[in-house]
Each structure stands twice: as C-alpha cells, then as structure tokens.
Amino acid sequence: MKIPRIIISGTSSRAGKTIISIGLMRALKNRGYEVQPFKIGPDFIDPSFHFFATGRNSRNLDSFMMSKKSILASFQKNARDADIAVIEGTMGLYDSHNAIDEKGSTAEVSKILKSPIVLVVNIERISRTTAAFVLGYKVFDKKVDIKGAILNRAGNPRHARKAKLAVEKLAELQVFGVIPRDKNIVIPERHLGLVPAYERENLETLFNALAEIVEEHLDVDKIIKAAEEAPELKEVKIKEKKKKKFNCKVGVIKDKVFTFYYIDNLEAIEELGGELVFIDSLRDKALPEVDALYIGGGFPEIFAKELERNSSLREDIYEFCNSSKPVYAECAGLMYLGEKIYTLEGEDYEMVGFLPLNTRMRKKFQALGYTIHEVIENNPISKRGEVLVGHEFHHSEPELLGKARFVFKVKRGKGIINGYDGMLKKNTLANYLHLHVLSHKKMMERFLSLAEKNKKHGRSG
C-alpha cells in the first residue's frame, strides 16, 4: 500500500514540532492536499489542533499502549483516502518510557510505519554545534530514516546561514529550511501542555499565519518529495464492520470543560451500535434520555464555578449514577463525580457528590506518564485478571472522604491512592487512568453490553 507520509519530530520537547506540524498541515491543505494528521503518543491536545488545521480527525499512534498491528491498521485505515499523512512526534525523537529500550518513542513508530522523518532542531544560542547535535541523531540508530532537518528559532540571517551550512556540510543532512525566531507566533500553554483547541477563537488566523511562515521559510516541495518516497507498506487486513450488536444511547459530556476523548473510543461506540448524545456540562440543565454516560478528561478546575452553578444537571447525573446505569469517567470525570474541587486559589466548589472524594489542585504534576493496571475485580469495562495499559497526567490530588472500592491495582503509575485506581460505586467507574480502545479492545463492548442489559431490565435514570 502506497501512502505518502512524513513524521515531524523534535530533538526535544519544545523544539517547535507542534507549531511546524500545524503550519505544514495547513500549508498542504491550502495547496489542495487532503491531509491526514496523526499524533505519536497519548496526547489529547495536539490532535485537537490537527483537526482544525486539516478538517480531519487526528489519530493517536502509541507503541507503548498499542500493538504494532494496531498501529499499522489504524494508520492504513485512516490515511488510505488521503493525499499525504503528516505525523507529529512526541518529545525528543528517541525519548521512550525508559532509558534503555525504544518502547513508546517516535523512533519506534517511525520503524513500524517505515516513515521518513524531518528533524526539528532548536538552534537558539548554537551555530556550528548544530551539526554535532544533528549528527548524533543520525548515527544513534541507523534504522531511523531522517531525511532532513528544519532549523528553528534563528536569531538573524547570519546565524541561519552558519547553522544551515554546518548541518549540510558537516552532518551531511539536507536542511529543508530555517525559521527565524518569532515571538508573535505562540500558542499559550496551560498546565497540561498546549491550550486545548476549544479555547482558541482565532484558529483560522493563527493557522494561516503558521502556513505562511512554513511556505516562506521551508522548502515544502522537498518535504512532499520525501513523503512520497516512503516505501510501500504491507497491507494489514482490517476486519469488516460487524453487524451492530447494541441499540442504546451513550451520553458523552463533551464541551469546553471536558475535552479529552480519543476519537477512536467514540467511533468504537458507534460501530457497536451506540448512539452518541453529546452533553454540555455548563449549558444543559437536564440530562437527556441516555442508557450510559461517558465523562472524559479536561479542565474542571478552570470552570469549577460554572459547573457548581449548573446544579440541576449535577443532580440529574447523581441520580443517574445512583440508578446503577453504567458510567465511565476518566480524570476530570473522576473529579466532577466527587464532592468538591479545591482550586489553587483556595476556593472550593460543589460537584456531583456521588463519589466519596474531594480533589485539590496543585501547582506541580501529581502524576505523569504511562500506566499499567491489573484488574482485580469485574467492572463496566474490564474483567478480573486483565491488564490495562494507559497513561495518566494531572495536577489534582485526591482526598478520600470514606470507604471506597477500587478495581485496579497499579503496577506502574500512581492511580488514585495507595497504589489503587478505578473507584467503583454501583455501576459507576472512575479513574485517573486514560484508556485508548486500541489498547483495550473490549472496553466499549463491555460498557455497551452493561448499558443494554440495564435497559432490558427497565432501570431508568
């Protein structure tokens, strides 16, 4: 299967790969290309920008959480009707979940996809040293196909010329362009990384400005040529869609508060026969008629006052949870289902109050990284003895207010408390763990199965 593709990787985090990836995606779209975006790693925020830059849903490709076959299948399924795939890397090119192996790295995914790489290098305060830097990346792993470099944040034209010449002559790597330092083109950062796309009101202006910078300073034609030279991939057989198993409605709280959902998770619900009913936690005053509820991650601490103000919806959600209908909540969803959220400013706000915990915001990360959980009790998405691989990232610290039942034992990561995650009350499961359906393929099937079962038994919210 022939799919033109290119990975935009950085020498490190904050080298500029997200800005350049977005700019390249929009530049290609403006040229008339159908661009399929991807993001390596578990990140939720970058893919939301990719969507607005290209008009297509970005997919996560994560070699820690997903098998090689799942990565190839997802890539081929979603890129086959596109003209080109642009894949944004994660962290530095070779950064992985530990110091020795490459698991979870951009480099590993590049090998799985046989994809050429463009290396984004921050050249602030270096010139000739850039060549030594780039050469190290070239020789570190000869199986990684670095086609060229983009030098970012040049101080002036002389600096740009010196660094470019050094890389091309001493590291023997073509330079696709040099981008000058431009403090006006910045996406503000929030405590979990880049600001979610929901908060950007002027995305079109921003992305077109980035596209102009890319067109002005990079040789886009050479990047396209590198993408087109990517070798053919052996086609992975993608299972035909089965007849829809279920007939139920799944409420999804998705708004500017709760933004972190993998598109694959939502599509899995639909493929199984679930109808997605989107709910706004700030505007909707009542819970619609649904058979299950899915609450993803986000920033409830930023909107805690508004969430508290919408007491009628909170009461409906409490009654829904109490009715034993299935509810699955991750991170922000866990916080929302608790009693109170305490902000950094010391204010506290009432939440749904179904789960016996408060959460307090902290300035520093309380958990960040991949997780491995052992399932110790059956629950709405998994069965005892299974192992769940996911990730967690949050600044909130939980405080238990009474006895709680946990269904996940943490083998790697932090969880909620004392090495446990997955708080279960009736059929409400809430955890700090974020799961992707390609890492746990039965999760949505089990979730909908429980919803259907409850529906047949006449339980109502």
Assigned token pair, 448: 């909908």
In Å, how far are 238, 273, 275, 391, 445 from 242, measured between CA atoms? 12, 10, 16, 29, 12
Q: Which residues, 6 or more positions from 256, have their beta carbon under 8 angstroms from its beta carbon?
A: 196, 198, 199, 282, 303
Place of tokens 């950064």: 95
User: 79, 331, 430, 448: which is the annotated catalytic residue?
Assistant: 331
For the chain, give the number of residues: 461
CA 67 to CA 407: how far, in whole Å?
Answer: 25
CA 208 to CA 54: how far, in whole Å?
Answer: 11
The question of whether 331 is a catalytic residue gets the answer: yes
CA 37 to CA 455: how far, in whole Å?
Answer: 38
Which 8-state DSSP code applies to residue 158?
A: H
Please give the radius of gyration of the chain, using alpha carbons only, rounded to the nearest integer. 23
Evaluate whether 361 touches 343 at the Cβ level (below 8 Å): yes
Which residues have a catalytic role annotated?
Answer: 331
